[in-house]
Amino acid sequence: MAQEKKSPGTAAETPPSILSVNNIEVIYDHVILVLKGVSLEVPQGGIVALLGANGAGKSTTLKAISNLLHAERGEVTKGSIMFKGARVDARSTNDLVKRGCIQVMEGRHCFEHLTVEENLLTGAFTRGNARKEIRDDLELVYTYFPRLKERRKSLAGYISGGEQQMTAIGRALMSRPKMILLDEPSMGLAPQLVKEIFEIVKLLNTQQGVSVLLAEQNTNMALKYSQYGYILENGRVVMDGPADELRENPDVKEFYLGISDEGRRSFRNVRSYRRRKRWLN
Amino acid sequence: MLFFMETVISGLLAGIMYSLVALGFVLIFKASGVFNFSQGVMALFAALTLVGLLSGTVPFTHVDNPSFAIPAWAAIPLTIIVMIIVAILIERFILRHLVNQEHIILFMAMVGLSYVFEGAGDIIWGSDVKVIDLGLPHGAWDWLLDTHGLYIEKIELVAAAAAVVLVVVLAAFFQKTRIGRALRAVADDHQAALSVGISLRYIWIIVWSVAGIVALVTGVVWGAKSGIQFSLSLIALKALPVLILGGFESIPGAIVGGLIIGVGEKLAEVFGGEVIVAIFGRWFEIDPGIFTATENWFAYVLALIFLLFRPQGLFGEKIIERV
């Protein structure tokens, strides 16, 4: 890995970004404004966390990048998205997957009536009929997720939530991605499993050089495994910075990590937080 | 007893036709959630095209010119190509623009499409009843007639064989190939299929092409039995109760449903009156003659009963629930 852990986001010394989102605005159904100008950068080989509460716009941001938005009657109306130096905001999902950018959707979305192995194989759809290579990659996925090998013949609908999440990530790996957009991998999983999955993602990042944009509500975990973070609220980035700085930030601590330096605070102070946030804008 | 057997067998063979039409419905419904109302007319259109090519009809003129006649080995692939082109056109001009719209909008588009097919068939190939001759055998199967005294048409056996081959080929295609796997993936979860880079447009074209080929087989077999005429499109309506019986998403359901309807309506037609009399004759004086022509509505009544008691059909998609 050329890229080191430290702060990729800030201007000058950064390596070229694999993904950069510039001030995009997303509108659903021609009327509902969901993202109001989101910008972010993912450096080559980095893990970047996209944090925020429910409905902040994390998933929408990822879908705008992968262009799954189109299928939900949403569209990017302003701004641009660059992947590996090319503009991709009008590209189809199929095209993006071919270019090496794939999304792992929130809620896993395995193909329930297909076996685990068939699920993994559908991930290689865009690669045509290169059988030998696809077989090799299947084995590679099994080395990262040995559990899936045991369950390869089970229908994906019947395996556990953690195994489904692994299947979803493994399926994405089968497309040989350069970049994975990982949407809430911790959803509905036991803490131990969440840790296991994050460890594997970290491993994929360092060993396979896959860059990761990670949308998470589990702020603590996400900041532990990422190098840089963005915090979204109401469709805007309200704060960003290196992961370790964000973890020390008193506002993040209080509102996303649930820890406070000052003991219990009254709701009056919430307003002051809002004011500060606006200033950050 | 022999008569009963004959009734059942001819019912089974008629049922195969329903199964074939229903199969076309199921394929498209699974992959795109579209209820393809025009499947029956597609069968008609495919058969008309094949006959037109075989007999050298000049399109739009309705005049046969024997010097343009194309032999069957070339006409069949050509017809398949026509059906694939039709699939591409449907994706390009209908599905692409209506994706993500309400179901009812797509349904109306399909109703419209069926009229387009019917009109196109009429304009291009003419509306007179046509005879299709692919050299399929006609008449009774002598061996069975001599040894067991059963009367079964050879053509119906050919139809059954064609249906079996078609189903086996389709099953292999779905289970073993990359495209088949992608089709099943799309049927399971559109969004996830999109997310791994499966192009829905491509899948739709494939699935409509396959449905077109199924329609061709249906049209040819049906046409060989009773001539290619516009009433062929009405078998599409019979496919509705078949689907309700078998479940909209199940290929085995379409096949079994078709057979049940086929046998059921034949039995109802032949023995329905006697059964009713046997049961209720004690209390009422019934003329068994009034229970004729049940063949026309039996399937719909059966479908109605199913809707009341088992709306997902016999083979409705197994719903996987994890606890």
Q: What tokens appear for A73 in the block?
A: 């009657």
* Contact residues, chain B, for A102 at CB < 8 Å: 195-197
By the 10 Å C-beta count (0-12 exposed, 13-18 middle, 19+ buried), B73 is classed as exposed
- Of A4, A64, A12, A6, give the one whose Cα is nearest residue A34: A64
In whole angstroms, what is the distance from residue B96 CA to residue B201 CA?
7
- The neighbouring-strand residues paired with A230 are A50, A240
**Are B192 and A98 inside 8 Å of each other by CB?**
no
* Contact residues, chain B, for A72 at CB < 8 Å: 100
- Of A95, A39, A62, A84, give the one whose Cα is nearest residue A213: A62
Note the pLDDT of residue A5. 44
CA gyration radius, chain A: 19
Helix (H, G, I), strand (E, B) or coil at B228: strand
CA gyration radius, chain B: 21
In whole angstroms, what is the distance from residue B152 CA to residue A231 CA?
75
Q: Are B110 and B35 in contact (CB under 8 A)?
A: yes
Instruction: Supply the CATH classification number for the domain A17-100+177-280.
Output: 3.40.50.300
Note the pLDDT of residue A46. 94
Closest approach of A221 to chain B, Cα-based (Å): 25
Helix-helix angle B39-54:B72-90, to 10 degrees: 140
Q: Are B219 and B232 in contact (CB under 8 A)?
A: yes
Complex ipTM: 0.84
Asked if the C-beta of A125 comes within 8 angstroms of chain B's C-beta atoms, the answer is: yes
Note the pLDDT of residue B167. 85
Running DSSP on this structure, what letter comes out for residue B134? S
- The neighbouring-strand residues paired with A215 are A50, A183
> Any idea which residue has 């399926």 for tokens?
A171
In whole angstroms, what is the distance from residue B26 CA to residue A18 CA?
43
- Of B303, B259, B238, B237, give the one whose Cα is nearest residue B167: B259
Note the pLDDT of residue B283. 82
- Write a three-state SS string for A49-78: EEECCCCCCHHHHHHHHHCCHHHHCEEEEE
In whole angstroms, what is the distance from residue A218 CA to residue A182 CA?
13
Per residue of chain A (281 residues), what is the pLDDT tens digit?
344 444 444 444 556 789 999 999 999 988 999 999 999 999 999 999 999 988 899 999 999 999 999 888 899 999 999 999 999 988 999 999 999 999 999 998 999 989 999 999 999 999 988 889 999 999 999 999 999 999 999 999 999 999 999 999 999 999 999 999 999 999 989 999 999 999 999 999 999 999 999 999 999 999 999 999 999 999 999 999 999 999 888 888 877 777 766 665 565 666 555 555 554 54
**Are A114 and B190 inside 8 Å of each other by CB?**
no
Distance of CA A140 to the CA centre of its chain: 22
Distance of CA B45 to the CA centre of its chain: 13
In whole angstroms, what is the distance from residue B9 CA to residue A51 CA?
66
- Residue spans in chain A of domains classed CATH 3.40.50.300: 17-100+177-280
Q: What tokens appear for B63 in the block?
A: 């005049």
Nearest CA in chain B to A73: B100
Residues of chain B with pLDDT under 50: none
In whole angstroms, what is the distance from residue A60 CA to residue A74 CA?
9
**Are A68 and B320 inside 8 Å of each other by CB?**
no
